[in-house]
Amino acid sequence: MSFRCLMALAAAAAIWLSLLPGLASAHASLQEASPAAGTRVEEAPSEVKLVFNERIEEAVGALQVLDGKSASVTSGKAVLSSDHRALTLALPKLDEGVYTVSYRIISEDGHPVGGSYVFVVGNPPAAKDASAFDLHAQLGHAGHEAEGALTTSALLLYAVRFLYYAALMFAAGTAIWFLLYRPLAGLADPLRSRLERLPGQGLMLAGLLYVFMESTQLMEGQAGSEWIKLFTRTSVGITWLSLLVLAAAGLMVPARLAKTRALLALLLLAQEAWSGHAAALEPKAVNLALDYVHLAGAALWAGGLMLLLSLWAGDRKEAGRFAASFTRAAWISIAVLTLSGIAMTLLWLTDLSYLFITPWGIMLLVKTGLVVLVAVTGAFIRRRMKRSGFPSGAMLKADGILMSLILIVVGAFTYLSPLPANEPVAWHQMGSALHVSIRIAPNVPGDNEFTTRVWMFNKLGAPKSVKLRLISEDKPDLGPIEVPVEPFKDDEISSFDGYTKFAYKVKGPYLPFAGKWTAEVRVLDSNDDEHVERTSFRNY
């Protein structure tokens, strides 16, 4: 066969193949999606439906929908339409939130196709990170956050917090124990009168010092009118006022009204729960209830231990009798503290690895270790009580030292955020053909502003296309999320000789959940050469 005949046959075959409908396009691509990518729907959809531009394989592929914690919302399987071009996945009732649709399919020509996109149901609350625990935010103050350095003023502030918590536990615990253990009312003076007066007086003084130090640190550099706003229009200021009012009321209630004093003690613990981390996190009612139970257990144990140490110094015989009741209650308190602490930790942390990367988590681990030592010491005290009827003075002192260390830790870690701080992504990459920068702010799960800038070498001219994609490093099977950046007029002064800047931006919920991510910029230049740049980042 001549060369000309071969060429003619090859040309005819090429024309025939190009006319085949199944081979006219490279491979399947997503043509239509419901809910559509990036949309916000008021009512939760009952299904997700994806339509492709050509037939896809039936036996291979997956379609899943993930919630804001990157967990699949259903274990059901997607259904392929009769024409092999649409996948439908039935959904359960979805709550408000940001959801990720991820698909992986095989087109009939054998090409794998995958991708992801997000949609929003309702108006979900903003994601919680370390900024949720910033007291300055309640007052609308920006840029006044506490410095991380351990200065003299910071040490003084922590010392005041320790004194306040010690006074609160002693006052609340003593009031509760005077109700639960009636023989305390029969103590001889002056020991009884001191135990009735001094805890309340100590709380009043510590409370005044605590509120003064906290408020002056919080209001540093603010106008006088802001002080009125602090104590009348913010939850933190109102709880501080309620603390001082309740402490003053406790001083005015006669000692014989043990029930009233105990009620005031419980109210003091309630206001402390309301001013803590629990009030900033959802579900608020559950968190507040757990925090209140935790504080009540702490007051029963710490306050009871302080009372026992006071009795040991003033009346050994009465201390022995009180110790029998206290050691039983102490075990209950430790159990309550442990269970409520575990429950709050599981509620507050979306990832237990945060325990090892945040100061709050490290402090909690230290506190846990101290509580274990308290339990061991308590076991020795209880064993000694069974043998001789009296606790060991050395063991009591050891328990007191451990309690003091726990209160020191609480004074510090109660004012730290249990969640890591998110920092905006600001990345720049220099190159010969182009420079690329990416900014993602505030870099939280949910809504963010995505800005991409590309400086093209002048000879290349304007890029044909600029795409920004987000790839989950924690879920490598998840397809990349396309971030639909659009050109905008950029007033930021940032130029490079020999290069022309092109800027793109969009705002939306394209970071659907916390984790490790890769941001990928794909630039197609005028020569149809594609340039790909990547950077990794993390949010919490």
Is residue 324 domain-shared with residue 359, that is, in the same domain? yes
Tell me: do 244 and 105 sit in the same domain. Answer: no
406, part of any domain: yes
The confidence score (pLDDT) of residue 218 equals 81
390: which residues sit within 8 A by CB, 6+ positions away? 316, 319, 320, 323, 384
Of 388, 413, 438, which residue sits at a domain end?
Answer: 413
> Does a structural domain hold residue 14?
no
The sign of the dihedral angle between the CA atoms of 414, 419, 424, 425 is positive
- Indicate the DSSP class of residue 414: T
Place of tokens 């002048």: 458
Number of domains into which the chain is organized: 3
Let me know whether 49 and 177 are in one domain: no
Listed in order, strand segments (DSSP E) in 132-183 are none
If asked whether residues 409 and 431 sit together in one domain, one would say no
Residue 17 lies in a domain: no
Do 343 and 200 share a domain, yes or no?
Answer: yes
Q: Are residues 278 and 334 in the same domain?
A: yes
338 with 400, same domain? yes
Looking at the structure, tell me whether residues 477 and 336 fall in a common domain: no
User: DSSP states of 271-298 as a string?
Assistant: HHHHTSGGGGSSSHHHHHHHHHHHHHHH
Contacts of 539 (CB under 8 A, 6+ apart): 129, 422, 443, 444, 445, 511, 514, 515, 517
Q: How confident is the chain (540 residues) per 10-residue block, as mean pLDDT?
A: 56 48 57 94 95 84 90 93 93 95 86 91 81 54 47 84 94 94 84 90 96 87 80 86 95 92 95 83 89 95 91 86 89 93 91 90 94 91 81 87 92 83 94 94 94 95 96 92 95 88 96 95 95 95
432 and 408 part of one domain: no
| Distance of alpha carbon 507 from alpha carbon 509, whole angstroms | 7
Same domain, 189 and 297: yes
What CATH number does residue 44 fall under?
2.60.40.1220
* Alpha-carbon gap, residue 15 to 299, rounded angstroms: 87
Cα–Cα dist 409/165, whole Å: 11
**By C-alpha distance, which of 366, 351, 539 is closest to 440?**
539
Residue 129 lies in a domain: no
**Nearest CA among 171, 189, 166, 308 for reference residue 253:** 171
Q: Is 136 part of a structural domain of the chain?
A: no
- Residue 188: what are its φ and ψ, rounded to 5°? -75, 150
Contacts of residue 529, Cβ cutoff 8 Å, sequence gap at least 6: 433
The verdict on 258 and 345 lying in the same domain is yes
Of 375, 392, 413, the residue at which a domain comes to its end is 413
Per the domain annotation, does 135 fall within a domain?
A: no
pTM attached to this predicted model = 0.74
Domain containing 480: what range? 425-539
Report yes or no on 260 lying in a domain.
yes
Which residues lie below 8 Å from residue 398, measured CB to CB, with a gap of 6+?
A: 377
Q: Count CB atoms within 10 A of the CB of residue 526.
A: 12
Question: Quick count: other Cβ atoms within 10 Å of Cβ 529?
Answer: 11
CATH number, position 447: 2.60.40.3340
Query: How many C-beta neighbours within 10 Å does residue 296 have?
Result: 22
Query: What are the Cα distances from residue 371, in Å, to 155, 295, 303, 342?
Result: 24, 15, 15, 13
Could you tell me if 90 and 154 lie in one domain? Answer: no
Residue that terminates a domain, selected from 88, 121, 154: 121
Give 229: exposed, middle or buried? Use CB within 10 Å, 0-12, 13-18, 19+: middle
